[in-house]
Amino acid sequence: MLPRLLFRALVAVVLAGLVAACSGSGSLRSAYDVATGGPYRLDTDDVLRVTVYGETDLTNTYRIDDRGYISFPLTGPIEVRGVTTQVVASRLTSALADGYLRNPNVAVEVSTYRPFFIQGEVATPGNYPFVYGMTARSAVSTAGGFTETANRDRVVIYRRQGTRMIKGGVDLDFPIYPGDTIVVEDRWF
């Protein structure tokens, strides 16, 4: 009697795991240390549109350099890597209020996201401009679609998480981020 109960409990656990694995991108999230949602974090090659109301000479686009900074007039370099646009606006407001402008009003938005990279079994591998809300499926489509030998069910995504590169196999509806590298493998693997 006891072995039969243990067997049923084991089957229930395995089935629950399979159901969780088949529920869209839920199983993929476990391949990453952090959730894929939340506010967008800035990094190298993002281009920011900074608007300083009433100051047309300061309103411009600024590319984030390799060190994670933008070079802003009057204030000099401002560190922006890993933070949101709201934090950048706050940092710029504080820097401008420190002896340059009285009551500065600053807005920051992402003008151009850093590219994503796609390689493997797609028609045109390379780097492409990221569009907010992209999935692995739309990235493959952007790269000209699958080759005849491509695995059309899953791709591998490499994503930087802090100082580490994380790798995970994902389905085609998994959201991608700027800077991701997507690898479409041959279906024979």
Q: Name the average pLDDT for the chain.
A: 84
Where do the domains of the chain lie?
Answer: 47-112, 114-189
**Please, which pLDDT band fits residue 25 given cuts at 50, 70 and 90?**
very low
pLDDT at position 24, please?
40
Residue 128, token pair as written in the block: 């492409």
Residues in contact with 105: Cβ distance below 8 Å, sequence separation at least 6, in sequence order: 52, 53, 54, 93
**Per CATH, domain 114-189 is 3.40.50.300:** no
Report the amino acid identity of residue 37.
G
Same fold, 47-112 and 114-189: no
Give the residue from 43, 49, 41 showing the smallest Cα distance to 84. Answer: 41
Q: Considering the domain delimited by 47-112, tell me its CATH architecture.
A: 2-Layer Sandwich (3.30)
Residue 19, pLDDT > 50, answer no
